[in-house]
Amino acid sequence: MLHLITLIAFVICSPYPLPAQETEKAGSAFGIEITPGFHGTDVKDYKGKIGEYEFLKDGIRPDLGINIYGTTKGSFFRLQGLYYEDEDFAVSADIDVQRILREEFSYFRMPHFLEHDPIKNLAACWCSATGVPVPAVTEYEDLDPRGEYYIKYSRLESKTTYRLPFLPGSQIYVDYRKEFRKGHRQAISLSKCSSCHAVSRDRTIDEYTEDISPGFKAKFGNAESGWITLTYNYLKRHFGETGNDPIATYDQALAPGGASVGKPVFSNRVQYDNINLPYSVAPSSEKDSHVIKAHGQLNKVATDVFASYVNTSAENMHTDNEYDLNSFIGRITNTLLPGLTVAGTFRWMEIDNDNVPVTVNEPVALAGPQVGQTYSQVYPDFDPVYNRLSALSRKVYETEFTAKYRLSKKMSLNGKFEWRSTDRDYYQVESGETTTNEYMGNIGLYYRHSGFYGRLAYTHDSTSDPFANPRAACNPSGINPTPGNTFTGIQYFQLYDMRRLTLTNLPDNKDEVTASVTWSISPSISLSGYYRYINESNDFDWDQESHMPSVSLFFSPSPKFNWTLSYLYNYQKTDSLICMSVFDG
């Protein structure tokens, strides 16, 4: 916050360069501003929450701001720098040559402190009849208990624009941006069976995201009869992570108790054991995107037309998994009838994502009653090899109609209707159903008269088959079996198959009412109030209700003094079924 004060003071005190057209009148100017100073901090207890994005360090240290600017006939430049800490500073340059060539460059660095979970809450246990823990079922171990996790974030950005002198309003440009994220974060691994074990380690972060984005914009026509702009933009993005992946040790899967204690009777139930493997791996990825836009105004018929087409493909360089996206948006707005504004929007989007054939290791049991057999040989109903069908692949159609009518000088009425259909290629939100249809209607009344402004709006959403997991929970009124013997009793996959109840936290009915008023009692006093009520529910025993009122008072007793007092209250209550998967699923 204080850092912000420094920045605001720096900007307020900086005479911003004159726009080029003003410079032509004013002639040349040049100036340098320096803002040396000191800042001090005294921190008590944990600093990562109060200063999540600030470098809070005890002591007094110098800071410095520099602002160099110059203007001449038709051109200007401005160079700025603000140093606060080694990990918190910014530099920028803005150069415009004859309003034809412009270069905007910036680089800044800032910290982001991350949480360190001591993972002590994972100390689950069985208890004796008297409530005494015997023994611990889940072990936890933080191998970096004093670790401080943070990211040093920095971003370099350049925008180079060449305005075509022979075609006013037209330009070609190249944008470049590169983000760096370096530091450390917590990485937790889990292993099960003989050692139900959560282990926390330090994970080095060394990531970058690089964007190169050339494009052009051409404008034809004039302000009187109408105009049209055509825009094309290409984006090439590459994400890479070069930090070392942490290594987890997965112990040999041995029976933890009973007559087979210490023997590998479960070795046909695990994918790997007795091995060191990397985890928390961040795969590299690439993305290509083409965007074409057309925007025009037909003044004779008071109509604005906009259309956009997007083609994007992205690939996970670690798994070669790809998705392709194609999208079209068309919008038309008309204001021909006095007092009435109508608009219609149509959107189509298609996403095609690769399916993933899943193959697994099928080791045999090395001891016990299933020795020499794989898991699927013992339980033929379980097929471990399958084709993971993408839940992302889909076609989306969306239409929206809006209208605004001015009832009188003081009052206007707004209305909106929206329909969206999401048809997934594979993922079923209910048995045999892959499509979600959403309908939304909104009506709002606006009133403005002599210092009083009011707005009242009602929105209703109705959704058929919202996104859901149709096999998320067991039926609360159904049979609850107990697992029985490890080898002859009910298996995990059979317990999961018994889940037949759909759960989702998305509503199929939602009502929302919002109201706001602002009363300017006098030029120096104004009172504002806002209230929002939402009631939403679905057919799966989930409902949610919230109230959010707020009030704000502005008072300016003199031109030299003003203050604002505001209060906001938020209440939200959610009722939902949950499925507790405790140890045995």
Sign of the CA dihedral with 242 first, then 248, 250, and 256 last: negative
List b or e across 318-355, with b for residues whose CB sees 16 or more CB atoms inside 10 angstroms. Answer: eeebebbbebebebebbeeeeeebbbebebebbbbbbe
CA angle 156, 157, 162 (to 5 degrees): 150
**∠ CA(278), CA(282), CA(283), 5° rounding?**
105
Query: Does 13 contact other proteins by CB under 8 A?
Result: yes
Instruction: Say which amino acid occupies 528.
Output: S
Task: Assess 10 for contact with other proteins (CB under 8 A).
Answer: yes
Q: Which residues make beta-bridge pairs with 443?
A: 415, 458
Interface residue with other proteins among 26, 28, 30, 340 (CB under 8 A) is 30
- Choosing from 34, 281, 336, 358, the residue that interacts with other proteins (CB under 8 A) is 34
Under the binding rule (CB under 8 A), the answer on residue 582 touching other proteins is yes
Separation of alpha carbons 16 and 35, rounded Å: 15
Query: Which of residues 166, 276, 380, 567 is near other proteins by CB under 8 A?
Result: 567
Map residue 312 onto helix, strand or coil.
Answer: strand
Tokens of 138: 């889940």
Of 31-39, 297-305, 352-360, 400-408, the window that binds other proteins (rule: CB under 8 A) is: 31-39
Is 233 one of the binding residues for other proteins (CB under 8 A)? no
* Contact status: 560 vs other proteins (CB under 8 A): yes
Indicate which single residue of 132, 223, 259, 565 sits in contact with other proteins (rule: CB under 8 A). 565
Q: Give SS3 for 131.
A: coil
53 vs 38: CA distance, rounded Å: 20
- Pick 47 or 455: Cβ nearer other proteins: 47
Q: Which residues contact 429 (CB under 8 A, 6 or more apart)?
A: 435, 436, 465, 466, 467, 468, 470
Measured between alpha carbons, how far is 134 from 128 in angstroms, rounded to an integer?
Answer: 6
- Between the alpha carbon of residue 6 and those of residues 111, 125, 243, 451, 457, the distances in Å are 17, 52, 35, 36, 41
At closest approach, how far in Å is the CB of 301 from other proteins? 47
Q: Between 67 and 189, name the residue whose CB sits nearer to other proteins.
A: 67
Site residue total, other proteins (CB under 8 A): 62
Identify which range of 109-117, 164-172, 296-304, 437-445 contacts other proteins by CB under 8 A.
109-117
Binding region for other proteins (CB under 8 A) out of 12-20, 189-197, 213-221, 360-368: 12-20
Which of 46, 272, 452, 519 contacts other proteins by CB under 8 A? Answer: 46
Note whether 49 binds other proteins by CB under 8 A.
yes
Q: Which two three-digit tokens encode residue 265?
A: 């009777």
**Hey, which residues between 457 and 496 contact other proteins (CB under 8 A)?**
476, 479-480, 482
* 6 is an interface residue for other proteins by CB under 8 A: yes
Pull the structure tokens for residue 346: 């149509």
Round to the nearest angstrom and report the end-to-end CA distance of the chain: 47
| Residue nearer to other proteins on the CB measure, 361 or 488 | 488
Nearer to other proteins, 51 or 415 (CB): 51
Task: Indicate whether 15 belongs to the interface with other proteins (CB under 8 A).
Answer: yes
Q: Is 128 a residue that touches other proteins (CB under 8 A)? A: yes
The region of 125-133, 175-183, 296-304, 346-354 touching other proteins under the rule CB under 8 A is 125-133
List residues binding other proteins (CB under 8 A): 1-2, 5-6, 9-10, 12-13, 15, 29-51, 56, 63, 65, 115-118, 121, 126-129, 131, 476, 479-480, 482, 559-567, 578, 580, 582, 584
